[in-house]
Amino acid sequence: MDHSFSDTNPDAESALESLQESLGYRFQDVGLLALALSTLKQPLTPETAAARQRLEFLGDAAWNYALALAVFRAHPQGPPGDLTRRRAAWSSRGGLARLAKRLNLPIPSLAPVGPSQRVLAELLESVLGAIVEDGGFDAICALAARIIGQGGESAARPFVDAKSALQMAALARQEKLPSYRLIEKRGPAHHPTFRVAVTVRGPHGEIRMEAEGGSRQAAEQEAARLALLGLGEPDPPSHNIS
């Protein structure tokens, strides 16, 4: 199978060595790590693309479980909702993207502003899958424990936007996910105003909040913030989204 990361990058061997140091894991079969990073080399053969996607699938599932164990053991008195937030800090798309940068993963230059969170998250998931395939579940558990343990307060209380926090609150209560609906869009095209409503089920029945913003995303964030307050959840830090 053509999964060499090195045949298009003369510095790849050094990059792979540096990445293993960042991961704190030494691969027995470095070809698995090269396969995980093969998305950096385009185009991929169908066989290579499918094999890399299988690693991504494995990494996604294993990382969520490994993080859950690490958070559960690090916070023996933590309530379920708090544990869910701590796990999501590093398992959400944004969390995975932050971790990819923290671990200095080699990244593709797909756009002037760099790769998206989705690209970074999927790249890291494939690397995590390679770790599991190479060293078993204990290897990825060690990484999860290190990430949870090293972050201190910044990892324990990461930035989580209002929509993510509201979703996690619903999951912690085993309720349906929040539902957003655009109510109105008004104003000139160069300066529109969006009004949205969010509906979520709380402990005492359904909660519905409305909010406005300069974009639909900003309005949804504000509506989610209001819904969190209605649920009695902590108010997340404000975050301007235009």
Residue among 7, 17, 29, 60 flagged as catalytic: 60
Q: Is the pLDDT at 68 greater than 90, yes or no?
A: yes
CA–CA distance, 97 with 121 (Å, rounded to integer): 5
Residue of 235, 192, 234, 199 whose CA lies nearest to 217: 192
Residue 220 designated active-site = no
What confidence score (pLDDT) does residue 114 get?
62
Of 29-38, 113-122, 164-173, 197-206, give the range with the top mean pLDDT. Answer: 29-38
Per-domain residue ranges of the chain: 6-156, 162-231
State the pLDDT confidence band at 33, using cuts at 50, 70 and 90.
very high
Residue 128 has pLDDT above 90, yes or no: yes
Q: Which of 125, 133, 161, 222 is catalytic?
A: 125
CA 67, 70, 76 angle in degrees (round to 5)? 130
Distance CA 231, CA 204 (A): 9
Fold designation for 162-231: Double Stranded RNA Binding Domain (3.30.160)
> What's domain 6-156's superfamily in CATH?
Ribonuclease III domain (1.10.1520.10)
CA-closest candidate to residue 228, choices 184, 182, 173, 165: 165
Tens digits of residue pLDDT in 74-118:
999 988 878 888 888 898 888 898 899 888 888 765 544 567 788
pLDDT in tens, 132-164: 999 999 999 999 999 998 754 344 444 567 888
Active site residue 122: no
* pLDDT, position 154: 46
* 187-242 tens-digit pLDDT: 988 888 999 999 998 888 899 999 998 888 889 989 998 998 888 765 554 444 33
Smallest Cα–Cα separation from 35: which of 17, 18, 21, 16? 16
Reduced to 3 states (helix: H, G, I; strand: E, B; else coil), residue 199 is: strand
DSSP 2: -
Closest CA to 182 of 216, 225, 221: 216
